Structure 1
Amino acid sequence: MHTLNTDLNTDNVIVLDPEGNLSLSLVKDAYEKFGIQVQHRSKASMKHNKYIINIPLKDNQLHPGSKQFERLKWCLENTLTQTFKLKAYFNIVTGQSVDIEWPSQVKKVTKIDIEPQFETLTDIHIPSFESINHSLNGQPAEDWDRHVMNALEWIGLAYIRSNRIKAKTTKAVDPFISVYKAPAPYLDSQTGTLIKWKGLLPTPFIHNVMTMIRKLMVPDIINHWTSLTVYGYRDSPYTWKGKEHYAYLNSENDYTFLMMPEHQTAYTLQFYGSHHSNV
C-alpha cells in the first residue's frame, strides 16, 4: 500500500510493505501531534526535518487489546485525521481473484486490473550489447562500466520511444541539443517490442514476468537479448536495504535485468542516488 500524490519532502507519506511493516513519513507538525515517537533519526532525517515512524504490524506484541495496538489505533483515528489517496494490492497464493473488504471509513474504492500495453518499435538501431558480455569467471574489460551505462541509456530511451534511437529520422537533431548515437554494433533487425505495466505491481507479478521471459528464451523466441526494468516509487520513505529515501537527493530506486540468452548470462543493474551510501 502506498499513498498517491504525496511529495516525500513536503507531505505525509504512508507505506505498508509486503512484510507487514507500516512506515509513516511525517512532517514536523503532523509528527508532534501524532503521539508515537521515532525510535531513531538519521542525520539526513534531521537535516530534512523528516520523522519516520516504523511499526511492524506482524509483531506478536501488536494485537487487539494490547497497549501498543490500542495506542496506534487511537493515534490513527484521532491525530492523523488527514484524508489520503492510496494504491494497494492484495496477493494470495491460490491465484484466484478475491475482493478486498475495506473499512467503512474508506470513501471510494476503484478496482484496477493490471493490463499490459504492447507497442512495436520500428526503424530503430538495436545494439547487440556484445561489449557488455564477459566471462563471469574473469574480470571485465577496463571500460566495461562505460558500456553498461551506454546500454542503460539506450534502454531508457527505448522506454520513452525517443527519436534518438531511430535509424532514420525525418528531421535532423540539432547537435547543440543532442549528439547521442546508439552504441554499436547493431543487430540486423530494426524492430523491437515494448511491453509496459503501470501501477503498484506486486513482487510475485514481477517474478512471474521474469519467469515468462526466461521460458521464451528456451525455444529461441528471444534469441539476442531482452531487458526488464522496474521503476520504484520516488516518494517511498525507504529504498534499497532499508536506506532512508530523499526525493531531491537520491530518488532513484529502480533496477534493470539485462538477459542475453546467446551467452547464457544475465546482469542485474540497480540505480542508486548520489547520496544513497551516505544516508
Structure 2
Amino acid sequence: MSADLGQTPRNLLVCDRSSFLDEKNRLASQVEKLHFNYKVSVLLPACSSAPSHLDSVISGFSTFYLIKKLPIYELLDKHFLETSVYQGSVYGLSYRTRIDQDNCIALMPNGHLTLSLDKDSFELLGFEGKPSRYNHRRSSSRFVVSVDLTDSSMAPGGRGYLRLLTGLKSRLQLQTDFMLSHHPGGGASLQSLLSRYDSSAHRPEVSRRILTDLSCPALLTSDLQSKDPHGFIEWLGAVDADVSSENSPSSFLSSLVCPEPKTTVSRALSVSICGLLLPQDVHRLIQELRVYLDQPRLESWVSMTVHGFADSPVSWSDNEHGFLRGGENFYSLLMFHDHTYHLHLATGAHDACPP
C-alpha cells in the first residue's frame, strides 16, 4: 500500500448553530456563496407525501440550459454581457469536464469568469493567471485564470477585454459543452446566445422515496452540538443513498450505524432534486420547509442537504476547488420547529475553509 493510500484524507466540517429569528444569522449569505449546486436532498420524518405548497416549490426549480460545443469566447459577447451578465445573476459551468484532467470553466453570478487550465492551454491563452493551489506535482501543471467581467478594464473594446478575446478566439480556441442558467431573467435573456448553437432546455429531475421504520437520531435542539457531527452527516448520506445503517460495528460490508441515542419513525419521505440548481431556489425551499415545520407534526425537524458539483473550478464564493479523491463541497441544514437550525458545511482536502 502506498503512503498516500495509507493516510486518511483531510476534510473540513464547519458547524454553525443559530436561529432564523436572529437578525445576525448568516444562513442567507452562506447559501448564496455555494454557486454551483447539482443536488438537493430533503428528508421529512413522519411524512409520506409533501403538502401541495412544498411540492410546488420542489417541482418548481428553475430551468437550465445545455449548450453543445460552446466556444468560450462567446461568454465575452457584448450583447450577452449587457443583457445577462450585467443585468442579473448568470450561472455557467462546463459540463462533464474533470477538474483534475480537463479545462474547466465557471461563470459566476457576480460576473467573475474562472478558467482552470492545464499548462499547455494556459500558455496558449497568453493571459494573466496563477498556479493552482492544488497542483499534484512539484512543478505547476495547472493554472487558474480569474477575470471580473464587470470591471472597467474588461469593458468591451478595452485592452484587457481584447487580449482575453484574442486568446480565446485565435490562440486557444477553447470550446466545451456548457450549462447555463440566469436569475431572474431565465431563458429570455439568454436566447440570443442559445439560438446560435445546439442547445436544449432542462428541468431539474425530482425523485421521491417513502421510507418505513427508519432509524433516526433522537434529535434535540439543546443537545445536538455535543454529539458527533460526522456521524450525523454519515447517517444522512446513508439515508439519501439508500444504504442500510442497521449494521454491527464489526460488519465487513458497512460499519455505518445510526447515531445513538436513536428512535424509529414509522415513515419518512426522502426527496432529491438534481440539475444545475440556483441558490435562489434553495432559498425558496428553505422558506417553505419552515412553513411546513409550523404545522403540528409527530417529529419536530426536517433536514436538507445541498451538494456542489465535484468538478466545479470553484466551491464557496470565488475559492478554488480541487478534486483529490471525492471533490466534496456541500452543506446540511437541520431545521427545528422552534426556528433554530444547525448548519454543517463540509469540504474535502482540496478546498479552503467554508464561510
Q: 2:321·2:350 contact (CA, 8 Å) conserved in 1?
A: no
Comparing 268-277 and 9-18, the one that deviates more: 268-277
1:103-252 maps to which residues of 2 (within 5 A)?
A: 103=193, 107-130=197-220, 133-134=222-223, 140-141=225-226, 144=227, 146=228, 148-165=229-246, 175-221=251-297, 223-248=299-324, 251-252=327-328
Provide, for residues 48-84 of structure 1, a one-character-per-residue CA deviation record: whole Å limited to 9, x for no partner. 5211000101112322221222222222211232430
Residue 334 of structure 2 corresponds to residue 258 of structure 1: yes
Shift of 1:102: 4.0
Shift of 1:8: 0.7
Cα RMSD over matched residues? 2.9
Q: CA deviation at 1:265?
A: 2.1
Whole-Å Cα distance in 1 between the matches of residues 303 and 293 of structure 2?
12
Q: Distance in 1 between matches of 2:173 and 2:128?
A: 18
Q: 2:143 is matched with which residue?
A: 51
Q: In the aligned structure 2, how far is the partner of 1:32 from the partner of 1:153?
A: 42
Mapped pair 1:274 → 2:349: yes
User: Residue 169 of structure 1 corresponds to which residue in structure 2?
Assistant: none
Distance 2:180 2:143 in 1: 23
The AA in structure 2 aligned to 1:19 is N
State the Cα distance separating 1:119 from its structure 2 match. Answer: 1.8
Task: Tell me which of 160, 177, 198 is aligned to 1:68.
Answer: 160
The answer to which of 43-52 and 61-70 deviates more is 43-52
In structure 2, C-alpha distance between the alignment counterparts of 1:103 and 1:237, rounded to whole Å: 23
**Contact 2:324–2:349 (CA<8 Å) still a contact in 1?**
no
Residue 60 and residue 245 in structure 1: after superposition, are their counterparts in 2 closer, same or farther (change >3 A)?
same
- Specify whether residues 21 and 90 from structure 1 end up closer, same or farther in structure 2 by C-alpha distance, changes over 3 A only: same
Instruction: Give the number of equivalent residue pairs.
Output: 260
SS in 2 for 1:88: strand
SS in 1 for 2:276: coil
Report the more deviating stretch, 174-183 or 27-36.
174-183
Residue 24 of structure 1 corresponds to 115
| TM-score (ref. length: structure 1) | 0.82
SS of residue matched to 1:255: strand
2:161 matched to 1:86? no
Give 1 or 2 for the bigger CA radius of gyration. 1
Residues 177 and 158 of structure 1: CA distance in aligned 2, closer, same or farther (over 3 Å): same
Alignment-mate amino acid for residue 41 of structure 1: P
Inter-partner Cα distance in structure 2 for 1:31 and 1:266: 44
Higher relative contact order (CA 8 A, sep 6+): 2
Mapped partners of 2:94, 2:193: distance in 1: 17
- Tell me by how many angstroms 1:165 deviates: 4.9
| SS of match in other structure, 1:98 | helix
5+ residue gaps, structure 2? 1-91
Secondary structure of 1:247 counterpart: coil
- Alpha-carbon separation, structure 1, partners of 2:300 and 2:339: 10
The separation in 2 between residues aligned to 1:158 and 1:276, in whole angstroms, is 26
